[in-house]
Structure 1
Amino acid sequence: MAYYSVLEVTPTNQGWGADYARVANPLVVQYEGKYLARTSNHQRLEGETENVTLRIIIEWPSKEAAIGFMNDPAYAPHLEARTKGSISQHYLIEGKDDLA
């Protein structure tokens, strides 16, 4: 079953971005993830949330793939850099409809 990472990222320090992408992008592919969106072009249609600079959606083939990516030792220092250099939220969403 597919899972989706939905991230909201607002950098507070720009120094981590280029190195992060250089490592994260091939690791996403290694874990069979697919970027569906990586954009600062988004609009809130309802509700109240903080202003977010970047929204990212990644499709994973399974929960295990998403967790494997997050726990990969090669990713750990880059996750730490993103965490320290941004305000980030990351949600892992199961690709099913519980209300159907």
Structure 2
Amino acid sequence: MTVYLIAELKVTDEAWLPDYVVRVHEIAARHNGRYLSRSTNIETLEGEPRDVTGIALLEFPSRDDVLALMSDPEYVPYGEARRRGSICHYRLIDDTDIAGAIPYLTKPDIA
């Protein structure tokens, strides 16, 4: 099942960024990951703005692929550097659509 990794970051020390951006892209690709977006252009349309300086959205074929990336010995030092130089929140969601699975939430009829 396709999953999406949502990474929200507040960079506190930029020293780790150049190597991370170049190398992790390649490592993620080896684990079947594909960056859909990496952006610092964040606009809050509703709710309180989050204290983040960047958001990345990656697509993977499975949760196992994400976990394999996160535990890859080549990735580990980059992840440690990221955690030292930022406040980060990583979230994983799958591509399920809960409409229709919850009694009060049904999928609309589309003709």
TM class by shorter chain equals: over 0.9
**CA RMSD, Structure 1 to Structure 2 (Å):** 1.1
Which 10-residue stretch deviates more, 17-26 or 86-95?
17-26
What amino acid maps onto 1:40 in structure 2? Answer: T
Tell me the number of residue pairs that the alignment of Structure 1 and Structure 2 aligns.
100
CA drift at 1:49? 4.1
Matched, 1:77 2:77: yes
Q: What is residue 51 of structure 1 aligned with on the other side?
A: 51
TM-score relative to the length of structure 1: 0.93
Matched, 1:37 2:41: no
- Give the alignment of 1:1-12 within 5 angstroms: 1-12=1-12
CA drift at 1:15? 0.4
- Give the alignment of 1:82-97 within 5 angstroms: 82-97=82-97
- In structure 1, runs of 5+ residues without a counterpart are none
TM-score relative to the length of structure 2: 0.85
- In structure 2, runs of 5+ residues without a counterpart are 101-111
Counting aligned pairs with the same residue, the percent is 35
